[in-house]
Amino acid sequence: MKRGWLQILQVVLGILIGALITLSVVKYRDAKHLVNTRYGGSWAKLNLVLDLLEKNYVDTLDRTKLSESTISAALASLDPHSVYLPPVELSESEEDLAGNFDGIGIQFNVPQDTAIVLEVIPGGPSEKVGLRAGDRLLKVDDRTIAGVKFPQDSMVRLIKGPSGSKVTITVKRSSEVIPFEITRGKIPVHSVDAAFMLSDSVAYLRLSKFSRTTFKECHEAAVRLQGEGMKHLLFDVRANTGGYMDQALLLSNDFLSKGDTIVYIEGLHRPREVFRADGRGSFPDLGLTVLIGENSASASEIFAGAIQDNDRGTIVGRRSFGKGLVQEPFFFSDNSGVRLTVARYYTPSGRCIQKPYNAGEDYSYDIYRRYAGGEIFSADSVKLDKSDVHHTRSGRIVYGGGGIMPDVFVPMDTTRTTAFYQQCTRKATSMRFASAMFDRYGSRLSDISSFADMDTFLRSENIAGKFLRYAADVDKIRCTDSEWAKSKPYMLPEVYALVSRYSRLGENAFYKYWLPVDTTVEAALRR
């Protein structure tokens, strides 16, 4: 009897315990459900994880660092151009397109504890002494900044300084370690690098970016050139990485006729918006050739696409970069911000300018793949999407797939390369020689304001002989007579261009002496 009651009691207790366990599981499940639904929608998990970190992580959390890294990671998963910009980076990116500033004239990034030069601003102090994209910054004066976790904002403050002050930047270029003494200056952020007459009727204009003043600068330069006899314009946007969309619209409008479509944009949350010329442009009948290359991007592609699809001019060069995503800035109270992709650019014929950015494929290596695949050297190697067919106004076929394919393809010329040229390139010998010439003939160069006077100076100073002696004595690079015979036709114009840049002629002189050996310009002039 006693044993029977014990068995009944065990069963009852088992039922009660089972019920309690079930109730606990249900309450735990409901509690978790409440945690998830409390934040609402598909964003619940992100907020849940942050909440869990806040309440459970073993150490004290740096909320600012965690928040910023979360934002950066989220944006990086979307597309290659949606980015978070901390206050310093945001200030610098806006500064580059807006106005002048004191410094040495470079843009750099710090991907792995070593700053890498991304861009050397044309006409700035760094370019004049020979710094170039790809250089790795090792030291600023005696301060080591590579491999020591040196903060990027501190690096910027260390490099910048008042105009006229000097700083020594030591860089690593391939296996070479090279110190450059740079005199800081007012960094030019003008978008028109050069504008001058190539002949009695043909003019050349080089545009480096689409800044806030681009349309005004280009328009004024074109009006001046027209007064000098311009009938045809070579408009160079090679290496133009873009900028403000409104400036691309205004510039295109200056060359198109009323009603011509310039571009249209469209996105999931942005209905299609078409931009057309208003007919008030100043140069609708001017002969026009646009030069593009693999580093022509964004706003420069809007301009080239509008000219091509309206059959307004000839596009010469190589396929452009393919950056056709529209970024809209959003700013925060701490002066940081995000540039968020909100739409895509489409040319008048309907081509999407943006190239593919497939998951698992390193987008930043696309240009390298073009080199490796032979596209830079042969039009037959260009990977066009032949299934994405569009037509210009006159019915010519153009293809989608990303970027603007030129009407006239110009391969990169590698036939001129010699061992002497390669060694001089690695050590920036030509640029450093030009700087040495300025040190010696600065006052004379500074007085030169005409190409005739510059020609006289270059001929009288035996620049070729001085350059070869400099290469041998300073950089220990010697050149045989046969090697110089092969190198001279394209190296001497480069040296002339670099030396003449130190005159009052500036960038106009540089391009005046360099363009005769520029194969893309040669192809454009043959048209």
Tell me the domain boundaries of the chain.
100-187, 192-408, 419-526
List the beta bridge partners of residue 338.
84, 330
Q: Which CATH architecture has domain 100-187?
A: Roll (2.30)
Tokens of residue 327, six digits: 């970024």
Amino acid at 215: F
Contact 253, 281 (CB under 8 A): yes
Q: Residue 71 has what DSSP assignment?
A: H
Distance CA 148, CA 489 (A): 44
Residue type, 45: K
Q: How far apart are CA 388 and CA 398, in angstroms?
A: 9
172, 171, 215: which is closest to 192 by C-alpha?
215
User: One-letter amino acid identity for 154?
Assistant: S
In this predicted structure, what is the pLDDT of residue 45?
Answer: 82
Report phi then psi at 237, rounded to 5.
-120, 25
CA atoms within 13 Å, Cβ hemisphere of 65:
3
d(CA 514, CA 517): 6
**Would you tell me how many other CB atoms lie within 10 Å of the CB of residue 437?**
23
**pLDDT 10s per residue in the chain (527 long)?**
445 544 544 544 444 444 443 443 444 344 444 444 454 567 778 888 888 888 899 999 998 888 888 888 888 888 888 988 887 665 565 555 554 567 898 877 776 678 878 678 877 899 889 998 778 899 999 999 998 888 877 888 888 888 899 999 999 987 889 999 999 988 767 899 999 999 999 999 999 999 889 999 999 999 999 999 999 999 999 999 998 999 999 999 999 999 999 999 999 999 999 999 999 999 999 999 999 999 999 999 999 999 999 999 999 999 999 999 998 888 888 888 888 999 999 999 999 999 988 755 667 788 888 989 999 999 989 988 889 999 999 999 999 989 999 999 999 988 878 999 999 998 989 988 988 888 789 889 888 999 999 999 999 999 999 999 999 999 999 999 999 999 999 999 999 999 998 888 988 999 999 999 999 999 999 97
Amino acid identity for residue 331 in this structure: F
Give pTM, 2 decimals: 0.77
Residues with Cβ within 8 Å of 90's Cβ and at least 6 positions away in sequence, in order, are: 331, 335, 336, 337
Paired with 330 in beta bridges are 338
- What does the alpha-carbon distance between residue 418 and residue 509 come to, in Å, rounded to a whole number? 26
Q: What distance in Å separates the CA atoms of residue 424 and residue 430, rounded to the nearest whole number?
A: 7
CA distance 271 to 293: 31
C-beta separation of 309 from 330 below 8 A: no
First to last CA, the chain: 114
* Cα–Cα nearest to 252, from 239, 241, 261, 244: 261
Domain 192-408, CATH homologous superfamily name and number: 2-enoyl-CoA Hydratase; Chain A, domain 1 (3.90.226.10)
